A and B are shown apart, each in its own frame.
Chain A
Amino acid sequence: GQQLNQSPQSMFIQEGEDVSMNCTSSSIFNTWLWYKQDPGEGPVLLIALYKAGELTSNGRLTAQFGITRKDSFLNISASIPSDVGIYFCAGLMEYGNKLVFGAGTILRVKS
């Protein structure tokens, strides 16, 4: 089955630092989504990407859809304590009806 390899598994950074995480796959996806999940809650959609090469921002968050359609990255600039949580990438295949999720990146921020 399809798998997404998400890295790093976890990060412990200083407040104010920039963060970068990425997802790679052996399969081609037509849509990439990035979600954040806080403990005890459902994932919240951060950014959606629909075209290869697309670069999209949402406040301090920037995500890119890789040219090969097999990867995506998410950057968070100037991290703050409320950025703490688990970040998931997810891919949707052409005419797909299910999202394939990565295993998540746990982000911890030292204030």
Chain B
Amino acid sequence: DAGVTQSPTHLIKTRGQHVTLRCSPISGHKSVSWYQQVLGQGPQFIFQYYEKEERGRGNFPDRFSARQFPNYSSELNVNALLLGDSALYLCASSLGVGMNTGELFFGEGSRLTVL
């Protein structure tokens, strides 16, 4: 069974550019969450989507946006990239939201480097 798949795995951008990261959840999972992991820290919550609706947003600026498609895949967009956006961006899928569906399964991440 395929796990959570993310693309691209690595990318390099320059300041001011924008980036789109993609995620396909585990088959049957309807919720996708995005996390940012800076080197040496635990993942930080960015967004959660369930049934194509945003269900939660972390403390990130409006330069970060996301959406979920009818097939439950998702995109994370970051505009006007800053050096500090360099991080591993993790996508996680789960069956739904809340208790007992809170087990998140992570992809391998997209490593973004901003120069």
Q: Which residues of A contact B43 (CB under 8 A)?
A: 43, 88, 99, 101
The tally of residues in B whose CB lies under 8 Å from a CB in A reads 30
Complex contact A95–B104 (CB within 8 A) = no
Stretch at the interface among B13-21, B52-60, B68-76: B52-60
In the complex, A31 has a CB within 8 A of chain B: yes
**How many residues of chain A have a CB within 8 Å of chain B?**
29
Asked if B102 is at the interface (CB within 8 A of a chain A CB), the reply is: yes
Q: How far is the CB of A8 from chain B (nearest CB, A)?
A: 15
Decide yes or no whether B98 CB sits under 8 A from chain A.
yes
Which of A11-19, A44-52, A60-68, A77-85 lines the interface with chain B? A44-52
- On whether the beta carbons of A42 and B99 are closer than 8 Å, the reply is no
* Given known contacts A101-B44, A103-B42, A33 and B103 CB-to-CB distance under 8 angstroms: yes
- Within B14-69, which residues are at the interface with A (CB < 8 Å)? 33, 35, 40-45, 48, 50, 55-56, 58-59
